Amino acid sequence: MNSMTGFGKSEINFKFGKFSIEISGVNNRFLEVSSRLPRQFFSFETKVRELINSSINRGKIKVFINFEESDDSPGKYLINEAAFKAYYKQLQKFKEKYKISGDITINDMMQLPDIAEPDKDSIDEKIYWDPLEKGITKALSQMKKMRKSEGLAMKKDMSNRLKMLSDDLSQIKKLTNNSVTKRREKLTNKINELLDSHTVDP
C-alpha cells in the first residue's frame, strides 16, 4: 500500500554545472504531470514527462528543475537586442525623471532579466540530459520511498482503527447479551412469583 503524497529532491554536479531537482506528489485519481524547467532546457519537457510516466501511475506530480551553469559550460548566449533597447530607454527616462547621476554601464544592463538568452542551437542535449535524467531518477526514487513509508504508516493506522472497532463491537455484543440474559432472568423470576401467589392446595 503506497500513499500518493511524497517528496524527493536531488542535486547533480557535473563538469558544466549543477542541476537541482525537486519532485512532489499529491493525491489524484489520474496521473497529472507539470514541470518547470530553465528556458534553455524547454526541449527536455517531453523527456521529463516520459520519465515520470514510466515510474509513477497516479497522482498530481510537480517537477521543479533549476540549473547553475559553470564557467566551463559550452553553451553560448545571444543578446536580446529588443529587450536591451527597451530596458535602456526606460532607465534613461528614470534617470531624467528622478535626476539620478551616473552612467548606465553594459555590466548594469547584463544583470537585467532576459537580456542574455541561451542559444538553444549551441546546446549538446546529451551532455545535459544524461546528468538531468540521473537527477530526476534519484529524486523519483526518494519520493517513492517516502510514499511507501507513508503508505505503511497509513496501513498500520487503519489496522489499529479496525482492531479498535472490532473490540468495540465485541464489547457491545457482550453488553447486549448480558442485558438480554438479565432481562430474561428478571422476567422468569416475576412469572415464578406470580405462579407462587396463585398456587392452591389440592
CATH code of the domain covering residue 137? 3.30.230
Residue 174 falls inside a structural domain: no
Q: Tell me, yes or no, whether 8 and 66 share the same domain.
A: yes
Task: Please report the pLDDT score of residue 142 as a whole number.
Answer: 95
Q: Which of the residues in the chain have pLDDT under 50?
A: 199-202
Residue in this structure with the C-alpha cell 537527477, named with its chain if needed? 135
Domain encompassing residue 163: 1-73+124-169
Residue 198 confidence (pLDDT): 52
Tell me, yes or no, whether 3 and 103 share the same domain: no
Residues 56 and 83 in one domain: no
191: in domain? no
Task: Identify whether 27 is part of a domain.
Answer: yes
For residues 108 and 146, state if they share a domain: no
Are 67 and 149 found together in one domain?
A: yes
pLDDT at 100: 85
Residue 176 lies in a domain: no
pTM score, two decimals?
0.59
Q: Are β-strands 31-36 and 59-69 bridged in parallel, bridged antiparallel, or unpaired?
A: parallel
Compute CA distances 186 → 33, 98, 198, whole Å.
69, 100, 19
- Both 91 and 157 in a single domain? no
Distance CA 138, CA 11 (A): 9
Identify whether residues 3 and 57 lie together within a single domain: yes
Predicted local confidence at residue 164, as pLDDT:
83
Residue 188 belongs to a domain? no
Question: Are 34 and 65 members of one domain?
Answer: yes
pLDDT of residue 200: 45
Tally of domains within the chain: 2
Together in a domain, 129 and 160: yes
Q: 195 vs 148, 182, 186, 189, 190, CA distance in Å?
A: 70, 20, 14, 10, 9
**pLDDT confidence of residue 202:** 45
Q: What is the DSSP string of 98-125?
A: TT--S---HHHHHTSTTSEEE-GGG--H
For residue 41, is it within any domain?
yes
Which residue shows C-alpha cell 526541449? 43
pLDDT of residue 49: 95
- Give yes or no: residues 4 and 68 share one domain: yes
Residues 95 and 148 in one domain: no
Residue 193, domain member (yes or no)? no
- 189 in a domain, yes or no? no
Q: Are residues 142 and 62 in the same domain?
A: yes
